[in-house]
Structure 1
Amino acid sequence: MLVSSILVIFLLNFVQCKKLLLTGDVLTSLNVQLQELMHLQKLATWDYETNLTDFNLAKKLEMDVNLASFQKQASYNLSKYKWKSERDGVLQRERLFYLRLEEEILPPKKYKRLKEIMSKMIHIYSTAKICDYSYPTKCDLALLPDIENIFAGNSSEDELRYTWIERRKAVGPKVRDLFQEYVQLVNEAAQKNGYDDASEYYLREHTDPDIKKKLKHYNRRLRSLYEQLHAYVRFKLRKKYGNSTSEIGSIPAHLLGDLTAQKWSGIAQVTLPYPEPYENFDNLKQQNYTVTDIARLAEDFYKSLNLSKMPNSFWRKSVFQKLTDTNMTCNPSAWDFYDGQNFRLKTCLKTDREGYETLHHWMGHIQYFLQYQGLDIKLRNAATDALFDSVGGAFSLAAFSLKHLKRVGLYRGEISTKADINNLYTLAMSKIVSVPATYAILKWKDKILSGEVKSEDYNSEWWKLVLKYQGVQPPVPRFEDDFDPGNIFEIISGESIWKKFTSLILQFQIFRQLCETDREFQIFDKASQLHTCDIYQSVKAGAALRTMMAYGKKKPWGYVMKHFLSYGRLFDELNPVPMLEYFQPLYEWLEKENQKNGVFVGWIL
């Protein structure tokens, strides 16, 4: 009833405004109404993702459709006005965002079907269960925490292979047809928006016509470091699993500590360059730390930069650990409920290194929300979606400086070269490994959406790209019905892969700038090393970041980055140099270690 009333009021207001107002004044009431709808839609989505029931899904879909209808009508009505005489550039951008539609350009039934498909795929992904390898009648193993623990633990090769196969049986075949329908609908929406297909539509924020060539170049620039890391890990895995891994070929996916091999953090501890226990994350458990306590550590870091503390709603309503009495989605996410006071995180964490990293990262998203709250509703967003993850990623890097880990009691002993290499190695198993993994997803999805690859070749093309860019292969033969990409959350949830790839590089640019602002890193000082930078209590770094985040979407992202980044030509474009600088000591160590062990670098296709 409330939604219907809002729509009626909106239409009546437009009739009046068309008679009386010929300027942007009409946006004032429009913003209020849109904000209320977005708030209601976000509440319904939260209720569904924290309790995956049919009832909650129906409520969510209802709010999705109502919000889409409102935005579609707003776009149509605003298009009747000639705004070119308006001199306010920010107002022009705000109006442009109202005029620009996304998937809501579809007819209501098709839009609802698209949202339903995406919700169903996420539901299958989040609720799938498999049977235990050792106890076949125990068939309640979920992705989190059960399957994740198997891959990150000391499991046998047989158990890893079994779990890898069974999880894929429980997800891939069930989402394949849904994904095919999803492709048809997002392409239809893209075409209605004036694009050839959705692969072009998802690049709309990138004004650079050569962006695809540049991202390919960036992946190549980082490949040498990845190949050294790949060779070292393969060598270590051969010691552990014997001939299960080739000396010169690709690595079987089930041995890499992660169900999807998107990051290899799960095997970092068993392949460490120096196995001495420098880190002390076990101390969190010994001191009875909770996930909330780790979140307090993260908040303290942000507050030390004179950034905002987390609001009361964050502590009261966030979900930090998997709920035991309901099915829920566990992939980390930050939530702005568009009421100026309700901000939350949703994730399923443990008191370990990953929990520490995740909370520092995602609290960066909340900081972003808080800094642009004073803007109109259509401007409350990052200049580009990649900036959210980039800011969060920069803070996770800062939180892992050995100086800071020692400060909070998570590192013991003296800071040494060996400790540096271990720390860089563990971070590389997430950050560096994610680059070719994300690029493979990007290439695959681009080919699917453009129609270059047909549905009958989805899975074969997937493994061709994973082998080419990651040097990873399936442990058993795969077939089209297996649809292994369906096990990648970013694929079935419709997230922007361009955003993810961009943020992997941009976070190091932002981190370097924060370090330069605090004079913790100096470009022309050969003794200055980026990975040793510690920006804790740097009010200057915090002020620079606050200014960037406060822009929201008022300015294009090139403009925002140009005013934030200050070195050379690294203004409004991506540059992998800071990422390479950060990991340079590890690269040199890996190169020497692989030479010493006579390890083949690369992989035979």
Structure 2
Amino acid sequence: MKRQMTTAAAVCALAFAAGCAASPTPDKALPLQADAGAQTFTPAPVTATGLRADYPTTAEGATQFVADAEAKMLTFGEYAARVQWARATNITFDTMWLESKVNAEATELQVQFANQAAKFNDVAVDPVVRRKLNLLRLGIVLPAPNRPGAAEELSQIATRLDSTYSTGKFDFKGRQITLDEASLILADSRDPNETKALYEGWRTISPVMKNDYARMVEIANEGARELGFSDTGALWRSGYDMPADDFAEETDRLWAQVKPFYENLHCYVRARLNAKYGDAVQPDHGPIRADLLGNMWSQQWGNIYDVVAPTSGGASSYDLTELLKSADYDPVKMVRTGEGFYVSLGLDPLPQTFWERSQIVRPRDREVVCHASAWDLDNADDIRIKMCTNVNGDDFYTVHHELGHNYYQRAYKNQPMLFRNGANDGFHEAIGDFVGLSALTPTYLNQIGLLKTTPGAEEDIPFLLKMALDKIAFLPFGLMVDRWRWGVFSGETTPDQYNAAWTADMLKYQGLVPPGPRPANAFDPGAKYHVPGNTPYTRYFLAHIYQFQFQRAACKQAGWTGPLHRCSVYGNKDVGARFNAMLEMGQSKPWPEALEAFTGETRNDASAVADYFAPLNQWLTVQNRGHDCGWSQA
């Protein structure tokens, strides 16, 4: 499959608003200028009206405050989401102006809600109200301080960073190309000089973000401290029904469970790259050169399957992209097929408005944000996806994933406003990924008529290797993005160290290095959408654990006794009923209770990853005999 297999997350400015969930696939600040030339960007003053400031610090006062906050969130959230949709699907000076204004209003409201919620920290209230108060305090991603002008400045910076990324282009062989174009070339290129030029070229868009990003960190940290947190990173880590330090340790524990498998995969891939390119390009020891892995961020390696495919034994007898094209699939048919999976589990079809209002293909007449995302605009039934869908295996998976967000959004729509969210942000990502595990199986492709016969066991290793190149290769990247940001927010990493720390984390977690020395002004983190877009990233790491827990539990419920990687729950309404019961809980209970509702387990457990890939890990161990696995972090 070509291009990155995206994984998804909330990128909307409003943690509390109706809004979107987006895939993890856009010095001197640029003026906002999609089609506006060099006009200076100055949004109107914030005009949103918050709540009264005189709620009594009693149980009754807390209950009334929460009720008023939820009512305000419902009405303002829909307004804000529609403005955000307008900008994402039509990037102009005016839509950016409107979004920046509404984001500033939203930030100010969120800060007001968080500060008011904190006033009830020592008040005895019932558990439901207490949970809602905690969510109000923890739900803000970029907290602005209370001082006048802070929300506006923070919003301007955030919108400018996002739009700089989304409209980024660089010179390649005498013409300006976009990220989409560069990604397609990088996926197919086996010329190390060309891959180096693409890798380094895309990263020329981000140095201009560095000063803005550093200023944004200053403002957000000021706001986080006003809310009682040491910094914004501590605020982010506190949103998982456990203390911030415990969450960091929990992710360390999960990484320790899967790290040996990643190192086994790394060792095998490095040896195959060495066999293709030779010692001068990729030595047979140490780290891997990042641009050789077929993905702009080296977060998934499936695009180089042709380089690392097994040289003996079974080979894959089909290519999903070719199957789709042979069956005359178009983007809409791909989305209809994704809908059909969820309907087969007993869930309702998508509403007619979904088909009328979604952006399924890239428009030809305007700039849009192509990063795949799923939207809930009214916290009820106006759900949509925004994609620039191509007919290929990667987007076939992405469609199934994004619709998972939509079905989750619709399942919890009857919860109180503050509980209309995933059990945690990793859950929202894992729902679609879990369905995607079924969607990529030969079993499912046979069930929907794309494959005439299901391949035999001789094709298991090629299938699992393809999956591991995306799923397992992603894990250290899913961890390192926020590890870098936690260091930035805490002040451990200063602006002059931003890029050095990023490349050090690449080496530490991924065992990768850039193709050449980075320039002094480099800001490589800004070349990854979720950094300028301010989307917390650990959710993706968690999702890559949860999805396999979900898969193992669902297949057990379905009575499946074969290999876990061959199990498809397509058409199983018993699994669907239990699955939907978890979805309907939203964020009303701590995430371990939601996990238990579907899986019977209350703890994250990466052993399900090992169960799924067990045949491949054994095979890799044999292939790696005689090789010096691992890499030095010096």
Q: Same fold (TM over 0.5)?
A: yes
Q: Does structure 1 residue 186 correspond to structure 2 residue 224?
A: no
1:44 to 73, 83, 86: 83
For 2:571, the aligned partner's letter is Q
Query: Are 2:357 and 2:384, in contact at CA under 8 Å, matched by a contact in 1?
Result: yes
Q: Cα deviations across residues 135-161 of structure 1 (Å, max 9, x unaligned)?
A: x1x22x1111x1111111144222111
Most deviating of 579-588 and 70-79 = 70-79
Counterpart residue number, 2:183: 148
Write the letter of the residue equivalent to 2:525.
P
Is 2:381 the counterpart of 1:347?
no
Q: Tell me the residue number matched to 1:495.
A: 535
- Paired position in structure 2 for 1:300: 340
* Structure with the higher fraction of residues in helix conformation: 1
Matched AA of 1:260? W
Partner of 1:94: 132
Between the aligned partners of 2:144 and 2:200, the Cα distance in structure 1 is: 39
* Residue 303 (structure 1) shift: 0.6
Q: Helix, strand or coil for the counterpart of 1:334?
A: strand
Contact 2:334–2:396 (8 Å) recurs in 1: yes
1:179 deviates by: 1.4
Task: State the AA in 1 paired with 2:630.
Answer: G
The 1-side partners of 2:112 and 2:632 are apart by 55
Whether 2:269 is the aligned partner of 1:233: answer yes
Q: Structure 2 residue aligned with 1:167, among 188, 202, 207?
A: 202
Q: Is this contact kept in 1: 2:569–2:575, CA < 8 A?
A: yes
> Equivalents in 2 of 1:211, 1:456: separation in Å?
28
Partners of 1:493 and 1:387 in 2: CA distance: 20
Matching of residues 69-148 of structure 1 within 5 Å: 69-73=108-112, 87=126, 89-98=127-136, 102=140, 103-107=142-146, 109-133=149-173, 136=174, 138-139=175-176, 141-144=177-180, 146-148=181-183
One-letter code aligned to 2:576: G
1:345 alignment partner, SS class: strand
Residue in structure 2 matched with residue 246 of structure 1 by the alignment: 283
SS at match of 1:246: coil
Give the whole-Å Cα distance in 2 for the aligned partners of 1:215 and 1:81.
31
Contact 1:280–1:409 (Cα < 8 Å) also in 2: no
What is aligned with 1:524?
none
Change beyond 3 A, Cα 1:249–1:40: same
Matched-pair contact (CA < 8 Å) for 1:361–1:396? yes
Deviation of the 1:5 alpha carbon: 10
The separation in 2 between residues aligned to 1:50 and 1:188, in whole angstroms, is 32
| Alignment CA distance shift 1:69-1:415 (3 Å) | same
Pick closer, same or farther for the CA change 1:529–1:481 going to 2, 3 Å: same
Rounded Cα–Cα distance in structure 2 between residues aligned with 1:197 and 1:92: 23
Q: Contact 1:383/1:552 (CA < 8 Å) preserved in 2? A: yes
1-structure distance, mates of 2:111, 2:483: 31
Cα 1:81–1:310 change in 2 (3 A) is: same
Q: 2:356 aligns to what SS in structure 1?
A: helix
CA shift in 2, pair 1:259/1:96, >3 Å: closer
Aligned to 2:401: 361
Q: Which runs of 5+ in 2 are unaligned?
A: 1-44
TM-score by length of 1: 0.89
Alpha-carbon distance in 1 for matches of 2:278, 2:121: 71
How has the CA–CA distance of structure 1 residues 449 and 70 changed in structure 2, closer, same or farther, with 3 Å as cutoff? closer
What percent of counterpart residues are identical?
26
User: Is 1:537 aligned to 2:571, yes or no?
Assistant: yes
In structure 2, C-alpha distance between the alignment counterparts of 1:376 and 1:196, rounded to whole Å: 30
RMSD: 2.7
Three-state SS of the structure 2 residue aligned to 1:329 is coil
Deviation at 1:394, TM superposition (A): 0.8
Change in Cα spacing, 1:276 to 1:534, as seen in structure 2 (3 Å) is closer
Name the count of aligned residue pairs.
580
How far apart in 1 are the matches of 2:540 and 2:139? 22
Aligned residue identity for 1:539: K
The AA in structure 2 aligned to 1:115 is S
Alignment CA distance shift 1:412-1:483 (3 Å): farther
Question: Residue 299 of structure 2: SS of its match in structure 1?
Answer: coil
How far apart in 2 are the matches of 1:227 and 1:16? 55
Cross-structure match for 1:578: 608
> Are positions 1:594 and 2:624 aligned together?
yes
Query: In structure 2, do the counterparts of structure 1 residues 409 and 498 end up closer, same or farther at CA, with 3 Å as the change threshold?
Result: same
- Please name the residue that 1:509 is paired with: 549
Q: Aligned-pair distance for 1:29?
A: 5.7
**Could you say if the C-alpha distance between residues 313 and 270 of structure 1 is closer, same or farther in structure 2, counting changes exceeding 3 Å?**
farther
The offset of 1:55, in angstroms, is 1.0
Q: Is the 8 A contact 1:280 1:412 kept in 2?
A: no
* Correspondent of 2:246 among 201, 210, 214: 210
Kept in 2, the 8 Å contact 1:61–1:115? The answer is yes
> Structure 2: how far apart are the matches of 1:67 and 1:468?
37
Please tell me whether the aligned partners of residues 359 and 386 of structure 2 are also in contact (alpha carbons under 8 angstroms): yes
Give the superposition deviation at 1:202: 0.9
Q: How many angstroms apart in 1 are the aligned matches of 2:349 and 2:75? A: 25
Amino acid at match of 1:271: V
Could you tell me whether the CA contact under 8 Å between 2:237 and 2:248 is conserved in 1?
no
Equivalent residues of 1:190, 1:198 under 8 A apart: yes
> Which SS does the other structure have where 1:130 is aligned?
strand
Distance 1:189 1:15 in 2: 22
8 Å CA contact 1:17–1:26 kept in 2: the answer is no
Q: Does 1:7 align with 2:49?
A: yes
Q: Contact 2:55–2:65 at 8 Å: present in 1 too?
A: no
Decide whether the 8 Å contact of 1:148 with 1:258 is kept in 2. Answer: yes
Measure, in 1, the Cα distance between the counterparts of 2:229 and 2:395.
Answer: 40
| 8 Å Cα contact 1:252/1:473 also seen in 2 | yes
State the 1:323 CA deviation. 2.5
The DSSP-based 3-state class of the residue aligned with 2:521 is helix
Q: Can you give the 5+ residue segments of structure 1 that lack an aligned partner in the other structure?
A: 522-527
Q: Residue 254 of structure 1 aligns to which amino acid in structure 2?
A: D
TM-score (structure 2 length as normaliser): 0.85
Q: Give 1:26 deviation, angstroms.
A: 6.5
Contact 1:251 1:472 in 2 (8 A): yes
Q: 1:56 aligns with which of 95, 110, 113?
A: 95
Deviations 1:455-505 (A, max 9, x none): 111111211121122111111111341111111112221111222222211
* Residues 184/105 of structure 1: CA separation in 2 closer, same or farther (3 Å cut): closer
User: Residue 302 of structure 2 is aligned with which of 241, 259, 265?
Assistant: 265
Note the alpha carbon deviations across 1:102-127, whole angstroms, 9 max, x for none: 34552352222222222222212221
The offset of 1:91, in angstroms, is 3.8
Task: State the distance in 2 between where 1:464 and 1:15 align.
Answer: 50
* C-alpha distance in 2 between matches for 1:194 and 1:550: 32
**Residues 425, 586 of structure 1: 8 Å contact kept:** yes
Deviation at 1:241, TM superposition (A): 2.3
User: Residue deviations 1:302-349, cap 9 Å, x none?
Assistant: 111001221122211112232322222222211111252211111222
CA distance in 1, matches of 2:190, 2:55: 69
Distance 1:25 1:424, change over 3 A: same
State the shift of 1:564 in Å.
Answer: 2.9
Match of 1:223 in 2: 259
Distance 1:64 1:366 in 2: 23
CA–CA distance in structure 2, aligned partners of residues 428 and 16 of structure 1: 53
Alignment of 1:538-553 (within 5 A): 538-553=572-587
Residues 264-413 of structure 1: matches in 2 within 5 Å? Answer: 264-273=301-310, 274-411=314-451, 413=453
Tell me the amino acid that sits aligned with residue 261 of structure 1.
S
Q: 1:196 deviation in Å?
A: 1.0
Letter in 1 for 2:414: G
Indicate conservation of the 8 Å contact 1:257/1:264, yes or no: yes
Distance 1:443 1:392 in 2: 25
Q: Is the 8 A contact 2:118 2:227 kept in 1?
A: no
